[in-house]
Amino acid sequence: MARLAFASASSPPLTSARTLRRHFSVFAAADPKPPEMPRPHHPSLEVIGDRFLPALKDSLAKPYDAFPLVGFNRHVETIYAAFYRSVPFVRLRRECLRTKDNGSVALDWVAGDDGDLPPESPILILLPGLTGGSQDSYVRHMLLRARSKKWRCVVFNSRGCGDSPVTTPQFYSASFLGDIGEVIAHVGARFPRANLYAAGWSLGGNILVNYLGQESHNCTLSAAVSLCNPFDLVIADEDFHKGFNNVYDKALSRSLRRIFSKHSLLFEDIGGGFNIPMAANAETVRDFDEGLTRVSFGFKTVDEYYSKSSSSKAIKHVRIPLLCIQAANDPIAPDRGIPRDDIKANPNCMLIVTPRGGHLGWVAGEGAPNGAPWTDPVVMEFLQHVESCVTINGERMLEDVHQIQV
C-alpha cells in the first residue's frame, strides 16, 4: 500500500506564491502500475538522479564527442574556450542595484525585452564565475540561447565584476549570499507574474548552490543549474597549486588585482586584520583571500573560509529542481570534490558528468569549436521542462519530493 507523508506543522511556512506553487497533493493508486523506465543515457556520460532524465533524453542519448585537436587535453580545451570561443553581440541595458549595506551590483538585462516579452515570461538570472561578467563568451551564448526561447535574461555582475561599481570596502565571496538574495527579490518584485530561474558557473555556481541550501523550502526560484562548480573549495585550493594549474591561479589573481586596483582608495587606512599590500600584490587567489576576502567576511583563516564556503555541504538542503553539470577532467573544479552521495540522496538534484570539457570549456556538440558550449542546449531543455510543468488552473506545480513518501 502506498503511503503519503506531507510536511509537518513544524515545517517552514510557505511564505510566497512561488513557493506555494511547488506544493500540491499527490494521490497514489492502491495497486499502481510499475513506472515506465526512462530511456537510458549514453554510457559516455555519468548521470546520477533520474527524476529529470526523460526531459533530457534527446541530449543525453548521444555520445559526448569532444572536438578533435581541442578536447584531447583539459588545459588545451580550457584555454581554447577562454580565448577563441566567439563572443556574440548582445545589446544590454544596465541597472545598478544599491544593496542594504550601501554596496552596489550591476544587473545587465537584454535590451528591448520589456517591449518584446510579456510580463509572465520566465526569467533566467545568470551568475558568472570568479571575476567574470556579462562580457564573457559563455555568458553571452547562454543569453542568446535563452532569449531565442522567449525567456527574459539578466546577468548578475558581482561587486567590481563586469565594471560593476564598488561603493563600500567590500567585494564578494564564495559564501556571501546577501547580494544574490537581494537580486532575486528585486527581480521577482519587478516581474511578480514570472517564474524565476538561475544558472551559475564556477564560483557563481558555488554561490548559487549555497543560496539554494540556505533558503531550502523558502527558495523563490523555480529551478537552478550549476555548472563546473568547485563544490569543495578545500580540494579545489589543493589542486590549484599543482603543475599547470598555477597558470590559472596567476591569471585569476591578476584579474583580482586589477579589480582591486580600480577601487583601492576605498580600502585606504581600513585597519583591522586586513593585509592590503598582500591583496594588492597577490600572486595567487589564496594570497588575495588571505589579505582581503576572509577578513571582510569574518573568517579566522583562509582554510576556514574555504571549508565553510564549500557548496558541497548545501546539496542536502536543496528543495527545488537542481541540475549540476561537471567535467570529469576539470582542472579547477576537481572531480573528486563532487558530492555524489549527497546528490544521489536528494531526489531534487541531478548530476551530469562529461568525460571531457575542461573548465568552462565543453568544446563539443553542434556549436564546436567556436560556438556555444555543449551544455547550453542541455541547460535549456532542463529549464523548459520545469517551466512546462503545468497543472490545475495553469499554476506551476513541481513538488518537493522530500515531502512525499510512496
User: Which residue is catalytic, options 137, 158, 202, 296?
Assistant: 202
User: Which residue is catalytic, options 232, 289, 330, 342?
Assistant: 330
pLDDT tens-digit readout, 242-298:
999 999 999 999 999 999 999 999 999 998 999 999 999 999 999 999 999 999 999
Which pLDDT belongs to residue 271? 85
Mean pLDDT score across all residues of the chain: 90
Cα 383 vs. chain centroid, distance in angstroms?
A: 13
> Is 217 designated active site?
no
pLDDT of 6 strictly over 80: no
pLDDT tens-digit readout, 375-385:
999 999 999 99
- Does the pTM of the predicted model rise above 0.85? yes
As given in the structure block, the three cell numbers for residue 186 are: 528585486
Higher pLDDT: 21 or 311? It is 311
Which pLDDT belongs to residue 8? 39
Percent of the chain at pLDDT > 70 equals 86
**Contacts of residue 361, Cβ cutoff 8 Å, sequence gap at least 6:** 71, 74, 77, 78, 80, 81, 327, 373
Which pLDDT belongs to residue 23? 44
Which pLDDT belongs to residue 2? 40
As given in the structure block, the three cell numbers for residue 107 are: 544587473
> Is 330 designated active site?
yes
Which pLDDT belongs to residue 403? 52
Q: Assess contact for 225 and 142: CB atoms under 8 A.
A: no
pLDDT of 136 strictly over 80: yes
User: Which residue is catalytic, options 222, 312, 359, 400?
Assistant: 359
pLDDT of 398 strictly over 90: no
Higher pLDDT: 22 or 97? It is 97
Calculated CA dihedral for residues 177, 339, 249, 325, nearest 10 degrees: -90
Which pLDDT belongs to residue 35? 58
Identify which of 8-12, 231-235, 402-406 has the greatest average pLDDT: 231-235
pLDDT of 11 strictly over 80: no
Bridge pairing between strands 152-157 and 196-201: unpaired
pLDDT of 308 strictly over 60: yes
Q: Report the chain's terminal Cα–Cα distance, integer Å.
A: 9
- d(CA 155, CA 152) in angstroms, rounded, equals 11
Which pLDDT belongs to residue 40? 75
> Is 264 designated active site?
no
Q: Assess contact for 179 and 101: CB atoms under 8 A.
A: no
Range in 22-26, 130-134, 156-160 the model is least confident about: 22-26
